[in-house]
């Protein structure tokens, strides 16, 4: 047996023979499970008889999508080109007062050309579109988004609304063109119909010969952040937009028959509008000579959790992690400081004089125990917690298995690292109470301040640099730049990628352990 293995074994014996520590480790897991399975939240999904089940359309990539828009279209076969000029884009947004909508455009209001495999929700598509505040875009299959020129017909109206209008592109009407060649779709734009700029191309694999091609307008759920002093909150609601099109022309191999108006996703029932929100009842298609005016509401985009979406994400079932974390921190810290209580450290160091080795063995023991506790608890919660919520009629966003595995392992890692951080601080400070407080203040307080008090900017900064960054490991749903939403921690979104967040915590732990090891060497036992 190597020296380290012997020390490891000694520390393990030390840990498992203190009943309080073993019980606390079990309690860590039990608390996480209890918080995950307590049937707190209620919803109406599937509770009001058949047909009330909450289900979102699923896109070609397998993810859930929003797919509601006003469409002016016709089926076209083979390859061809469609061109249109978007003359104007106006809209209505929810205001602070829910009964008083104000004029303005949501940043991701869209009006443009849309080519789809079909009008079934979730079907494959490509669109060239002007937007409320993000210029011209080529978007396809819900998750892909290519930027064209900034500016566009929506810009003059956005100056006092959504903010962040870049303003470098020309405002005013915009010409759009969409061309199909086999399963490749190319998008182009022009300020005047003469000078064309290519935006990019999209490949829609397995696209049928006959597709739906036409004009569309849609305007997503609008959400804004409010700060009333320290209370920050969100408000939101459906928005609507009206696009005015002219110079509509079909060319290439396409031969038009008759245009057909449609409101896709607009015929939602009572449960449906809770689900997909943006049906405002104002959807319409108007055609006066050459001019087509579409009013639409909704979005063609991946579905998100939060103010702009609905339901909850898997991360919300893991709220017990915070409680478990406190227990893990206390155990980790006391495992270190108990040595100093009655001079046990002298016995320990006589038995194994390698001080760094003792610290490493302790870290390995407490880390492994907490990892095991976290792994078991998170696995139970991830598997059963969503079932409980769904049983209560709450819509829980499905999460890919790989993400679930990452969340389970991540929760375990979070507990283990927090316990090791506390161990390092405990060894360094030799005072249980100070070390526990410091560990909790470092790991939990940043998250608390970020979800309750701080405005978005400082909150995101705090969640990039503090050990709380590692909560990113629990993020269940990805953040999409092309969907306006409050991507806040309270909704389960973190500023760092999961592994980057983990890296931040690991760095903190490494520094704490290194300083503790140094102190252990420098000072007398």
Q: Per the structure block, which two tokens stand in for 502?
A: 């983990």
For the chain, what is the largest distance between any 2 Cα atoms, rounded to a whole number of angstroms?
Answer: 95
Residue from 52, 184, 356, 437 in contact with other proteins (CB under 8 A): 437
Q: How far is the CB of 434 from other proteins (least distance, A)?
A: 7
**Is 387 an interacting residue with respect to other proteins (CB under 8 A)?**
no
The answer to whether 240 and 91 are in contact (CB under 8 A) is yes
Residue from 102, 203, 346, 387 in contact with other proteins (CB under 8 A): 102
User: Which stretch in 84-92, 119-127, 331-339, 478-486 sits in contact with other proteins by CB under 8 A?
Assistant: 331-339
Residue with smaller CB distance to other proteins, 99 or 257:
99
Radius of gyration of the chain measured on its C-alpha atoms: 28
Residue from 79, 145, 183, 225 in contact with other proteins (CB under 8 A): 225
Q: Per the structure block, which two tokens stand in for 44?
A: 């109406």
Residue with smaller CB distance to other proteins, 39 or 478:
39
**Is 346 an interacting residue with respect to other proteins (CB under 8 A)?**
no
DSSP-derived 3-state class of residue 228: strand
What part of residues 276-295 is at the interface with other proteins (CB under 8 A)?
none
Q: Which residues contact 254 (CB under 8 A, 6 or more apart)?
A: 76, 77, 78, 79, 80, 81, 82, 213
User: Which stretch in 373-381, 450-458, 476-484, 499-507 sits in contact with other proteins by CB under 8 A?
Assistant: 450-458
What are the φ and ψ backbone dihedral angles of 150, each rounded to 5 degrees? -70, 175
Identify the helix (H) or strand (E) that includes residue 248: strand 240-251
The answer to whether 284 and 266 are in contact (CB under 8 A) is no
User: Which stretch in 122-130, 218-226, 345-353, 379-387 sits in contact with other proteins by CB under 8 A?
Assistant: 218-226
Residue from 8, 76, 117, 162 in contact with other proteins (CB under 8 A): 162
Q: How far is the CB of 315 from other proteins (least distance, A)?
A: 8
Residue with smaller CB distance to other proteins, 60 or 410:
410
Q: How far is the CB of 452 from other proteins (least distance, A)?
A: 6
User: How does DSSP classify residue 64?
Assistant: B
**Is 344 an interacting residue with respect to other proteins (CB under 8 A)?**
no
Residue from 50, 96, 194, 290 in contact with other proteins (CB under 8 A): 96
Q: Using CA atoms, how far apart are residues 123 and 271, in angstroms rounded to an integer? A: 22
Q: Using CA atoms, how far apart are residues 155 and 172, in angstroms rounded to an integer? A: 7
Q: Per the structure block, which two tokens stand in for 182?
A: 């086999």
CA atoms within 13 A on the CB side of 407: 27
Q: Using CA atoms, how far apart are residues 282 and 278, in angstroms rounded to an integer? A: 10
Q: How far is the CB of 119 from other proteins (least distance, A)?
A: 33
Q: How far is the CB of 205 from other proteins (least distance, A)?
A: 38
Q: Per the structure block, which two tokens stand in for 268?
A: 């939602």
| List of residues contacting other proteins (CB under 8 A) | 35, 40-42, 95-96, 102, 104, 160-164, 224-231, 312, 316, 319, 322-323, 325-327, 329-330, 333-334, 337, 341, 394, 431-437, 440-441, 444-445, 447-449, 451-455, 458, 490
């Amino acid at each position: 047996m190597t020296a380290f293995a012997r020390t490891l074994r000694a520390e393990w014996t030390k840990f498992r023979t203190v009943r309080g520590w073993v019980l606390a480790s079990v309690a860590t897991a039990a608390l996480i499970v209890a918080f995950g399975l307590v049937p707190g939240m209620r919803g109406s999904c599937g509770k009001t008889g058949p047909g009330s089940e909450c289900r979102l359309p699923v896109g070609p990539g397998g993810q859930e999508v929003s797919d509601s828009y006003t469409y002016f279209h016709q089926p076209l076969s083979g390859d061809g080109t469609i061109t249109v000029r978007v003359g104007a884009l106006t809209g209505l947004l929810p205001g602070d007062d829910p009964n008083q909508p104000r004029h303005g455009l949501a940043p991701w209001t869209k009006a443009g050309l849309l080519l789809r495999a079909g009008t079934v929700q979730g079907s494959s598509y490509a669109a060239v579109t002007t937007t409320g505040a993000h210029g011209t875009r080529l978007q396809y299959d819900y998750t892909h988004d290519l930027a064209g020129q900034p500016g566009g017909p929506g810009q003059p109206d956005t100056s006092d609304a959504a903010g962040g209008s870049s303003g470098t592109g020309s405002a005013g009407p915009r010409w759009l063109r969409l061309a199909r060649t086999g399963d490749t779709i190319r998008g182009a734009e022009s300020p005047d119909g003469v000078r064309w700029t290519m935006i990019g191309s999209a490949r829609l694999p397995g696209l049928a010969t006959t597709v739906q091609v036409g004009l569309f307008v849609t305007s997503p759920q609008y959400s804004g952040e409010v700060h009333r002093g320290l209370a920050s909150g969100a408000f939101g609601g459906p928005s609507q937009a009206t696009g005015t099109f002219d110079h509509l022309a079909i060319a290439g191999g396409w031969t038009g028959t008759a245009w057909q108006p449609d409101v896709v996703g607009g015929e939602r029932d009572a449960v449906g509008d809770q689900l997909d929100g943006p049906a405002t009842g104002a959807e319409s298609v108007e055609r006066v000579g050459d001019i087509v005016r579409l009013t639409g509401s909704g979005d063609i985009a991946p579905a998100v959790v939060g103010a702009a979406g609905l339901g909850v994400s898997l991360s919300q079932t893991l709220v017990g992690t915070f409680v478990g974390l406190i227990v893990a921190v206390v155990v980790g810290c006391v495992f270190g400081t108990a040595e100093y209580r009655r001079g046990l450290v002298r016995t320990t160091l006589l038995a194994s004089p390698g001080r760094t080795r003792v610290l490493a063995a302790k870290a390995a023991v407490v880390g492994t125990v907490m990892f095991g506790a976290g792994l078991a608890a998170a696995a139970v919660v991830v598997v059963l917690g969503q079932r409980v919520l769904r049983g209560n009629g709450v819509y829980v966003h499905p999460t890919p298995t790989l993400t679930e595995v990452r969340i389970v392992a991540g929760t375990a890692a979070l507990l283990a690292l927090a316990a090791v951080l506390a161990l390092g601080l405990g060894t360094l400070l030799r005072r249980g109470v100070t070390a526990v407080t410091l560990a909790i203040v470092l790991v939990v307080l940043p998250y608390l301040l970020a979800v309750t008090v701080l405005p978005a900017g400082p909150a995101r900064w705090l969640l990039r640099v503090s050990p709380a960054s590692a909560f990113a490991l629990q993020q269940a749903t990805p953040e999409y730049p092309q969907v306006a939403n409050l991507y806040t921690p309270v909704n389960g979104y973190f500023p760092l990628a999961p592994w980057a967040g983990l890296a931040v915590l690991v760095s903190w732990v490494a520094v704490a352990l290194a300083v503790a090891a140094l102190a252990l060497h420098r000072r007398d036992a």
